[in-house]
Every structure is written in C-alpha cells, then in structure tokens.
Amino acid sequence: MLLYLRLLKESLSFAINALRNNKLRTLLSLLGVTIGIFSIIAVLAAVDSLDRKISKDLSSLDKNTIYLMKYCFGPSEIPQWKREQFPNVKYDEYIGLKNSMNNTDQVGYQLFVSHETLKYDSKTVADVNIIPSSFEMVDIDGLTFDKGRFYTESESNSGTPVIVLGYEIAQGLFENSDPIGKNIRLYGQRFTVIGVMAKQGAGFFGDSNDTSVYLPANFLRRMYGDSDAMTPVIVLKPVKGVDMDAYKAEVAQKLRAIRGMKAGEMDNFFVNVLSGFTDFIDGILGTLRTAGIFISIFSFLVGGFGVANIMFVSVKERTNLIGIQKSLGAKNRFILFQFLFEAIMLCLIGGIIGLFIVWLLSLLLTNLLEFEFVLSFWNVAIGAGLSIFVGIISGILPAISAANLDPVEAIRTGM
C-alpha cells in the first residue's frame, strides 16, 4: 500500500513539474478545457437558477389552481381564428360556478388590464400592474401583508374604491410614512389605501407583487362595464386530494350548462391548470438545458483534443528521459501514471478556472439584474468530475504509448 502511495506522490510531482516547466504550452492547453467547462456549467447554472426562480415565484400558489378563460396557457390544436371568436368569461358565470362547484376551496374573479400611473399629492409612480379582482384572490394568490389588510367580501361586491399596494409602490408614493388610510388617484378616481403587501422581490414572469396593486374588480366593472379592453379570468382552487381529471370535467360541464351549450358543441373556453403551465415551462427549460449541453460538448471536445495533442508532444520531447527512467528500474505503471496525472492536472486546473469564471459571472449578474444566479454544489461537482474525465480520456493514449516505450530505443531516440 505504501509503495502505491509513494508511486502516486512521485507521479504527481513529475506531472506538476512538467506543467510548471512548460508554462506557455500549459496555458494554451488550459484554454480549451476552461472554455468547455465554462460553457457547460454556465448553461447548467443558468437553467437551474431559472428553475429555482420559477419554483419560488409559484411557491405560494397551488399547482392544481385552474384558470378558466378564453385563452390557453400553452399550445392548442384549435386554430387561432377559432380561438379569437371565443367569448370572455363573465362575472355571472363566476357567481354560478361559485354557487355550484363541489370540492372547491375558493373561486375568484380577476381582470387583466393595462398598466397605469398612480398619484399621491405631487408624487407619481408609472407603469403599475393593476390587478382588479374579487376578495377570494388574497387566499388563492397566497398574499402576505406588511401593513393593513385585503378588502372584504362586501367591499369587493360593492366595488368600494379601496386599494392594496405592492411594497415598492408604497415606498415610491409614501417613502417612510404610513400609507394606510391615505387617498391616491387612479383612473381619475380617489382610492383609499387599506393594505401594503409584504416585499416579494423580482418576479420571473414579469410583474411582481412589489410593483402591483389590487382593487375590487367590480369598481372597474361599474365604471366601464364588461369592456373588451379587460380580459377576465375565473380562478378555481380545488380542495387538496381531489381527482383533477374529474374536477376539470366538472368545471367544463358546469360552465357549458351556464352557457346553454348543446351536446356535441366544442368548448369555447379553456380550462388551464397551473401544473400544466409549469410542466410546459419545465419542458422548455429541459430543451434549453439539452441544447446548451450539446453545443458546449463541442467546445469541450476541442479542449480534450488539444490536451491529447499536447500530451503526445510531451511524450515525444521526453522520450530520452523515459528511457533513462525505465533503464533505472521505473515500472511501466509509473510512467503511465506520470503522464496520466499530468493530463488530469491540466484538465482539473482548466476546470477550476472555468468554474471560477462562472462564479464571478454569477455574482455580477445577480447584482446587475437583481436575479439570483446560483452556482450549486452539484454544478461544481459536475465541473470537477468532467475535468477529471476529460483528463483521463485525453491522457490515456499518450500515457500508454509512453509506458510501452522500449528503454534502449527511447534512449537512442534522444541521442
């Protein structure tokens, strides 16, 4: 055992000295491996960071939540011209489903509208995401509060001009003062601030709760009616453990009955399940990961071929030294380990540099984009493992050729 440890130590020492004595060659060889490791780990870290961000943004939502509307979350076999003829869901349909659905925790109503500008005295905040909704959305969206509360059922039904602000909106309008009870202007009307949501952070899907405000949907319906400028959606949150296929079928059947649709008529609405949307996103991320790795492998192969080429040159240059070592009693395995460790060390150093560059880039992107770019332990482990693997593959043939050299011929070649 001690003999093998000594052999390992001496082989490693030879490899390090060889790399140190050929600095330019070592640097050029490192470039290929560094670029390869950087490419693969950067792709893996970027996709993992996106996946983590999406999971965080959707953590407050039940993946079985259903969004009932005229649009589909993902691809659809129904032609676009046909989908454009679908009617919007209506407030009366929300009430009908709310009163008739079984196995349902909450049924909410929400309008998608354009961004607006909020004003308080001389201060304004532009490009605010407006979320007109019914009172149930506080539970469906899993909202938490820094101050105040959400609007009640009576305020929601009557369309009372009250508003709940996102954290950044409250900071922009009121800074450090208490906004509760203050009046702000929106749609040319006065709204009383009754709550401020807890800080959420940047959202992957665009608008965050920090830059959003909630107000009763019936306030806008009272002002504008069911305008085509607003896209309504009915949101259903089923109880836990429900059979989702049966639940979706019940939702479709109940809405068809409310609309008086005949048997055989095609549904003119979409029952979108949030889990289907997340599966669609996961599919996209998986495709990005696979494509990125496939492209990165080419740069990795170039680095591996470069290391193998350098190792063959190294064997050629040190043929005389190999012959002397073997004539003095060096075993074939010592010569093999000597060159194999040299290739592994070369690739490992290149991999560490590549990982270090990814780490620096992750810090830079996190600070510049307010997006948490994460280099996980598994990404580091994959990078180190790939470096060692490439070192073994690219160094094994040169090492075998060096180990099999005839000592007499090797010494004669160097003379």
Q: What is the per-residue pLDDT across 233-272, written as a single tens digit (0 to 9) for each?
A: 999 998 888 888 898 899 999 999 999 888 888 888 988 8
pLDDT digits (tens, 9 = 90+) for 164-220: 999 999 998 988 888 999 999 999 899 999 999 998 765 545 557 888 999 999 999
Tell me how far the alpha carbon of residue 164 is from its chain's centroid.
29
What integer pLDDT is reported at residue 16 of this predicted model?
Answer: 65
**Quick one: pLDDT at residue 145?**
92
**pLDDT at 11 exceeding the cut of 60:** no
CA angle 58, 109, 206 (to 5 degrees): 35
Outline where DSSP puts E strands in 198-269: 212-216, 231-238
Rounded distance between C-alpha atoms, residue 406 and residue 415, angstroms: 15
Higher confidence at residue 388 or residue 158?
158
Lowest mean pLDDT of 276-290, 309-323, 368-382, name the range: 276-290
pLDDT at 185: 93
Averaged pLDDT score across all residues of the chain: 81
**Distance (Å, rounded) from C-alpha 11 to C-alpha 309?**
20
pLDDT per residue as tens digits for the range 12-53 = 566 566 666 666 666 766 777 787 777 777 777 777 777 777
Mapped onto helix, strand or coil, the DSSP state of residue 403 is: helix
CA distances from 11 to 27, 330, 339, 378 (A): 21, 11, 8, 29
Strands (E), 169-259: 183-186, 189-197, 212-216, 231-238
The tokens of 362 are what?
């992750």
Integer-rounded Cα radius of gyration of the chain: 32
**How far apart, in whole angstroms, are the C-alpha atoms of residue 386 and residue 34?**
11
Residue type for position 18: A
Most confident range (mean pLDDT) of 1-15, 75-89, 120-134, 317-331 is 120-134
**Banded pLDDT at 337 (limits 50, 70, 90):** confident
Answer yes or no: are the C-beta atoms of 82 and 162 closer than 8 Å: no
**Burial of 114 from C-beta contacts in 10 A (0-12 / 13-18 / 19+):** exposed
Q: Which of the two residues, 297 and 255, has the higher pLDDT score?
A: 255
The predicted model gives 296-311 an average pLDDT of 74
**Residue range 135-141: average pLDDT?**
90
